[in-house]
Amino acid sequence: MERVYLDANAFIGIVEGTGPRTDRLAPLFDRIAEGRLAGWTSELTLAEVLVQPLRRGDDETADAYRDILSPRWRMVLAGIDRPILEAAAAIRARFPRLKLPDAIHVATCLQTGCAAFVSADRELPLPAAVRLVNPDTPADVDRYLTALP
């Protein structure tokens, strides 16, 4: 089964978003929930997505993030261990403008063998073997979903 890595902005788009981005992300999350696609992210994602709901005192949205980032939704959260941190440091050494959280996401994607990376961030340094699927670009999502079994 193909593995797809989801950046924090994909979760924000599906939980708090409305409109075209959310509509494009929904079939992707449906395939993960159905077990037809393996959804991966970093434990870091939980810390990133909870900030605003906690700041607002929005327990309902915080709980929605906790739920979607759980085994119930078949989402795998990779731990941040020494190999991930070493890989993130190497990525930042090569791409100095990249922020540490983004480097951790890219390193986690690579370490977990994901074939695609779902993110609205167009500046991520991904190797050619990892496909960037931008939810703000309809053709990206359509081509990716069409190519899946």
pLDDT in tens, 91-110: 999 999 999 999 999 999 99
What's the domain count of the chain?
1
Distance of CA 60 to the CA centre of its chain: 21
The pLDDT assigned to 146 comes to: 83
Give the pLDDT band (50/70/90) at residue 112: very high
Distance CA 51, CA 59 (A): 11
pTM of the model: 0.92
| Rounded mean pLDDT, 5-30 | 90
The pLDDT assigned to 86 comes to: 97
Find the domain containing 112 and state its range.
3-147
Distance of CA 15 to the CA centre of its chain: 13
Beta partners for residue 116, in sequence order: 4, 131
The pLDDT assigned to 145 comes to: 85
Of residues 142 and 53, more confidence is placed in 53
The pLDDT assigned to 7 comes to: 95
CATH code assigned at 27? 3.40.50.1010
